[in-house]
């Protein structure tokens, strides 16, 4: 079986809730709508921007690397789509305030938060690299929440909108070595759980997509091409289907089952996970 065949089997194994939506349904959901995608300079966010632009979305694409955003906007314009770039470092409160001002008072109907920083470090490594904790919490939680709270008043007054978080199965199965990343993604996930009911009253639906491994520049340093996972284009199709169907959460069945199993067998599973983590870091020549 080739890598690509293995990937499509992996996609199918996620179950029917993860199926794509038809082109017509995507066009109905995003056509002519103002859609903000954060983390659009690469990986999942970029692939989602290209897909939604093809279906008529009026895109605002945000990330730090302005040149990559400009190239994306040029590609979308060349294909007849509509997009504008808003370069912004979500970790910088002033930059987020400036981005909110640039986006302006016209409601953003769909916000897809795909910006994120995933860094694998052991607790020992955090001693000298505590910036891992501050950087991940700023990019994955504080910045996206600051941006959303600035934009949501207009969306709520329009009484129609969606806020979609590109989350991760790490929230369900927080693995050793990923403490900073898992905590920051869980923070946003929990924020959405609490904020969702408040927003629903004003016609704004929230969705949390707990993605499994997706092969991108972000995941490449940790997972080689042989590890079962999705392509960025497959992840984009899933996100488009989430916009169409608006599920509250989308979690792979095996991540739900794994989380339940982990809770039931906790002391033993924690020990096994700790041993596997120590071996993996030893192989990499890094302190566990
Ligand atoms: N790949 C996976 O296996 C996987 C699995 C589950 C969930 N996810 C989630 O999916 C999202 C996208 O990940 P990816 O794999 O596509 O990674 P990626 O290719 O590294 O993309 C990450 C995006 O986030 C942006 N970003 C990072 N820090 C930022 C900041 N401070 N301010 C603004 N933008 C920032 C990056 O743009 P700039 O560098 O230009 O700022 C880039 O566009 C992340 O939230 C990640 O947690 C990924």
Residue 284 domain-assigned?
A: no
Which of 60, 88, 93, 115 gets mutated to test ligand 1 (max ligand atoms within 8 A of its CB)?
A: 115
How far is residue 201's CA from residue 215's CA, in Å, rounded to a whole number? 37
In the prediction, which pLDDT does 9 show? 83
At 149-201, the pLDDT tens digits run 999 999 999 988 999 999 999 999 999 999 999 999 999 999 999 999 999 99
Segment 211-218 mean pLDDT: 96
Residue 236 domain-assigned?
A: yes
Residue recorded with tokens 């008529």 = 56
Which of 14, 39, 147 gets mutated to test ligand 1 (max ligand atoms within 8 A of its CB)?
A: 39
Percent of the chain with pLDDT over 90: 93
Cα Rg for the chain, rounded, in angstroms? 19
Percent of the chain with pLDDT over 70: 98
What average pLDDT is seen over the chain?
Answer: 96
In the prediction, which pLDDT does 3 show? 67
Residue 287 domain-assigned?
A: no
State how many domains the chain has. 1
In the prediction, which pLDDT does 6 show? 67
Strand order across the 249-250 sheet: 82-87, 58-63, 34-38, 110-113, 161-168, 204-211, 249-250
Residue 130 domain-assigned?
A: yes
In the prediction, which pLDDT does 13 show? 85
**Beta carbon of 82 within 6 Å of any ligand 1 atom:** no
In the prediction, which pLDDT does 127 show? 95
Ligand 1 centroid from CA 170, angstroms: 15
At 125-139, the pLDDT tens digits run 999 999 999 999 999
Ligand 1 centroid from CA 218, angstroms: 6
In the prediction, which pLDDT does 12 show? 86
In the prediction, which pLDDT does 4 show? 66
Checking if the pLDDT of 2 tops 80, the result is no
Q: Are 116 and 185 in contact (CB under 8 A)?
A: yes
Ligand 1, atom nearest to 232 Cα: 16
At 252-268, the pLDDT tens digits run 999 999 999 999 999 99
Question: C-alpha 274: how far from its chain's center?
Answer: 27
Is 223 a known active-site residue? no
pLDDT band at 58 (very low <50, low <70, confident <90, very high): very high
Residue 155 domain-assigned?
A: yes
Domain enclosing residue 195, as ranges: 3-254
Residue 121 domain-assigned?
A: yes
Q: Is 102 helix (H, G, I), strand (E, B) or coil?
A: helix
pLDDT band at 77 (very low <50, low <70, confident <90, very high): very high
Residue 110 domain-assigned?
A: yes
Give phi and psi for 204, each to the nearest 5: -105, 120
At 4-16, the pLDDT tens digits run 666 678 888 898 9
Ligand 1, atom nearest to 39 Cα: 43
Segment 216-233 mean pLDDT: 93
In the prediction, which pLDDT does 11 show? 86
How far is residue 158's CA from residue 104's CA, in Å, rounded to a whole number? 14
Residue 264 domain-assigned?
A: no
CATH number for position 42: 3.40.50.720
Q: Are 39 and 45 in contact (CB under 8 A)?
A: yes
């Amino acid at each position: 079986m080739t890598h690509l065949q293995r990937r499509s089997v992996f996609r199918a194994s996620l179950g029917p809730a993860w199926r794509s939506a038809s082109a017509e349904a995507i066009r109905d959901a995003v056509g002519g709508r103002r859609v903000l995608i954060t983390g659009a300079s690469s990986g999942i966010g970029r692939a989602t921007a290209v897909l939604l632009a093809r279906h008529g979305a009026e895109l605002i694409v945000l990330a730090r690397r302005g040149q990559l955003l400009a190239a994306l906007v040029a590609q979308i314009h060349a294909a007849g789509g509509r997009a504008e770039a808003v370069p912004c470092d979500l970790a910088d409160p002033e930059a987020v305030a400036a981005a909110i001002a640039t986006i302006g008072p016209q409601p953003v109907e769909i916000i897809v938060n795909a910006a994120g920083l995933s860094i694998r470090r052991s607790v020992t490594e955090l001693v000298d690299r505590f910036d891992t904790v501050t950087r991940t919490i700023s990019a994955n939680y504080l910045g996206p929440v600051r941006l959303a709270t600035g934009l949501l008043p207009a969306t709520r007054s329009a009484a129609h909108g969606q806020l979609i978080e590109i989350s991760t199965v790490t929230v369900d199965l927080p693995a050793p070595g990923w403490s900073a990343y898992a905590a920051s993604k869980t923070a946003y996930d929990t924020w959405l759980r609490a904020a969702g009911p408040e927003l629903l009253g004003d016609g704004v639906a929230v969705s949390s997509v707990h993605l499994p491994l997706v092969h991108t520049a972000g995941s490449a340093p940790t997972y080689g091409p042989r590890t079962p996972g999705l392509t960025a284009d497959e992840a984009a199709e899933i996100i488009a289907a989430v916009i169409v169907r608006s599920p509250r959460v989308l979690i792979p069945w095996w991540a739900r089952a794994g989380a339940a199993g982990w809770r039931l067998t906790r002391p033993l599973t924690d020990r096994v996970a700790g041993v596997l983590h120590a071996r993996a870091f030893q192989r990499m020549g890094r302190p566990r």
